Structure 1
């Protein structure tokens, strides 16, 4: 099995916590060597996924949480965003997940699903699972020619 690190966090399903997830995404992606443009794309995509979860998954009176998982591989970052809490069993998530198709009825996923079109445009691969709540699995590949990966180049994170 391919080796990877897994980082998981839970945030309250409130709009004011989207920034926390954006910062975490930026930190993980920066550490991996993603370009500035790719990091910006990742931040927009995770914002859309979490906003979708906070806006549509819970009724106003319901106190919910969003679980965010980062699968850190040598060549890609996989980000999972799930409403209705719970920890990720990565193998279980991956066995039942399918690709997002733009032909799918947005209502089937949620009203306000425009964010999924944006996520799909920004990421290399988007998969959705919506049995109980919704899990969005977004993948961004790390291109080996990114600036800052070679010793003779200046890294933006110094």
Structure 2
């Protein structure tokens, strides 16, 4: 098994904690040796995923937690953003929220439905994106230190 360090955070699913998450990923990515541009990409992607939890995961009961895990490997950073809120059928809402893949027809931002641009950004900025929504939602994002290790896939994978 490949060795990695795991860092875990649990914060209230509130907008005021998204900045704390951004600072955390900035420090971790900087320590790993990511470029300034890659760090900015990571901050935007994790902000989008966290903001989605804040805005949508706990609508029915009004409060909950946002879990963030960082898998620190020699060649990559894996980020897991999860909640235990209401799950969604990704395949069903994918068509409703806008493009998430470079192969899909890109609409002007003004024509995108709420949430579509966030998923599009996450997919565009990260090297690999997987979503599991069996209970709550888990977004697993991967960013490689060396771009030559990027998998040849532009699809968000769902489980």
In the TM superposition, 1:1-158 aligns within 5 A as: 1-59=1-59, 61-84=61-84, 104-105=94-95, 112-143=115-146
| Structure 1 residue 116: Cα displacement | 1.1
- Structure 1 vs Structure 2 CA RMSD: 2.2
Instruction: Tell me the CA shift for residue 123 of structure 1.
Output: 0.4
Please give the TM-score of this superposition, normalised by the length of structure 1. 0.73
| Aligned 8 A contact 1:127 1:136 in 2 | yes
The whole-number CA distance in structure 2 between the counterparts of 1:132 and 1:106 is 21
The residue aligned with 1:88 is none
Name the SS for the 1:126 alignment partner.
strand
Structure 2, unaligned runs of 5 or more: 98-113, 148-159
* Separation (CA, whole Å) in 2 of partners of 1:61 and 1:78: 30
TM-score, scaled to structure 2? 0.73
Structure 1 stretches of 4+ with a deviation exceeding 4 A read none
Give the C-alpha shift of residue 106 in structure 1.
5.1
Contact 1:52 1:113 in 2 (8 A): no
Count of aligned positions: 126
Classify the secondary structure of the residue corresponding to 2:121: helix
In structure 1, C-alpha distance between the alignment counterparts of 2:116 and 2:133, rounded to whole Å: 13
Deviation at 1:59, TM superposition (A): 1.6
Instruction: Name stretches of at least 5 consecutive residues in structure 1 with no aligned partner.
Output: 86-99, 145-158
